[in-house]
Amino acid sequence: MNSTSDVVVIGGGIVGLCAAYYLSAEGVSVTVVERAEIGRACSDRNAGLVVPSHVIPLAAPGMVAKGLKWMFDPESPFHIKPRFSADLMTWLFHFWRSGNAGYMKYSSSVLHQLFQESYLLFGDLSKNIGDFGYSHKGLLMLCSTQRGLDTEIEDAVIARELGMKVSVMNNHDIHQLEPRIRTSAVGGVYYHQDAHLDPTVLVENLRTALRRRSVTLLTGAEVSSFQTVDKRIKSVMTSKGNLKADEFVLASGSWSSVIARRLSLRLPLQPGKGYSVTFTPHVPFPEVPLILSEAKVAVTPLGPRLRFAGTMELAGLDSNINQRRVNAILKAVPKYLSNFQENEIEATQLWSGLRPCTPDGLPYIGRFRKVKNFIAATGHAMLGVTLAPITGKLVADLLTAGKTSLDLSRLRPDRFN
């Protein structure tokens, strides 16, 4: 297949689909290229949380020390698989440099702006592409230790300063909010404005909407190389033919740095593998989404089903399921929710996905300096669902109007070069 369109979006995950959605709304002809199938990317079965509360970036103070401490524990919430990799060493160096209080405050303000814009766009999406289980029930950070609660309260102070509604809760307050669960938690922090959705349905609804707009969805197409002239891409060569366009968008998640390298571009990015377990419980389960704070496990109600999701494993482009990592999630749940026992959880869906992590916790959005018609829309880590609408809108505005509502200089893809 050889074709020509206004824009080629490389990557058919939630971010790439949102970029195509907002571009097509402006009358732009779009081709989406996906190496696998639409709906098989990182967002397909993740926690499905829309979290404007998560203003603290991954590269927060103390995370380097925690990463080193947990490196040799395969069941830890944040695990770095020991291996020699020049890319990993470079990423860890930038991660270390970003892990200070000053940069955290800077990054938090940037994320907050993105979150607020994306939050508004979700309301429009839910009206325009069909129901995807979008529900505003907030998010409860559940803490099993006083130390964990103290840490969450520190984060809540930052969220409050940014204007978010936050409540610190004791065990009694938690029972009032969520009477369906039994917990021995010492307390928690409740973020009123957070929401959740079914990411599988969201992706499917976006795909249907794009087909109605005659967007070309080219699946099973691996990008092999680019043809460039005068620092501009003329076409991209794929396993299913050559695609010409005026502009190209890189939205390939954890594979983005591999594709960028084919244009001699460096994009520090590490795949952070996460897991989810989805099942239909036989006991009462929460209606309010939870994060089991110390264990870093999300608990998301999806109609009659429940999803446990968590862990961050830097192990390269390896999507294989490590059962020990899954067991770590299942072992953590009964420590917070006595309704559930590990041997009673019968997973109907077991999934792993690779989340594209930047060293500073901010996504890459904007043009590359060395390739004039190449735009990055990647590096969202655990925030891909939350930030997909605003990322797609920013890409569309940049390509159609030449300017955006937010300053993208802090998100430029070559900021580490």
For residue 343, what pLDDT is reported? Answer: 65
Side chain identity, residue 283: V
Domain co-membership, 215 together with 170: no
pLDDT at 77 over 90: no
The count of structural domains within the chain is: 2
CATH number at residue 391: 3.50.50.60
Q: What is the pLDDT of residues 11-48, one digit of tens each?
A: 999 999 999 999 999 999 999 999 988 876 777 789 99
Residues 249 and 275 in one domain: no
Average of per-residue pLDDT across 86-91: 90
Q: Is residue 121 part of a domain?
A: no
Task: Please name which of 27, 33, 2, 26 lies closest in space to residue 249, comparing C-alpha atoms.
Answer: 33
Residue 225 lies in a domain: yes
Q: Which stretches of 135-282 are DSSP H helices?
A: 146-161, 171-177, 199-212, 256-261
Tell me: do 31 and 147 sit in the same domain. no
Q: Does residue 114 lie within any of the structural domains?
A: no
Residues 171, 185 contacting (CB under 8 angstroms): yes
Q: pLDDT for 304-344, tens place per residue?
A: 999 999 988 888 898 888 888 888 898 899 999 988 876 66
Angle between helices 384-400 and 14-25 (to 10 degrees): 30
* pLDDT at position 135 over 90: yes
228 and 211 within one domain: yes
Is 177 part of a structural domain of the chain? yes
pTM: 0.94
pLDDT in tens, 188-245: 999 999 999 999 999 999 999 999 999 999 999 999 999 999 999 999 999 999 999 9
Confidence of residue 74 (pLDDT cuts 50, 70, 90): low
Residues 227, 260 within the same domain? yes
Q: Write down the pLDDT at residue 98.
A: 85
Residues 286 and 178 in one domain: yes
> What is the model's pLDDT at position 231?
95
CATH code of the domain covering residue 308? 3.30.9.10
Q: Are 64 and 150 found together in one domain?
A: yes
Q: Which residues contact 192 (CB under 8 A, 6 or more apart)?
A: 138, 164, 165, 166, 167
pLDDT at 95: 87
78 plus 177 within the same structural domain:
yes
**94 within a domain of the structure (yes/no):** no
- Does 173 lie in the same domain as 155? yes
Burial class of residue 32 in the structure, from the number of CB atoms within 10 Å of its CB (0-12 exposed, 13-18 middle, 19+ buried): buried
Residue 225: domain span: 3-44+201-267+361-411
Please check whether residues 211 and 78 belong to one and the same domain.
no
pLDDT, position 60: 64
* CA-to-CA separations, 9 to 25, 68, 246, 259, 274, in angstroms, rounded: 15, 37, 11, 12, 25
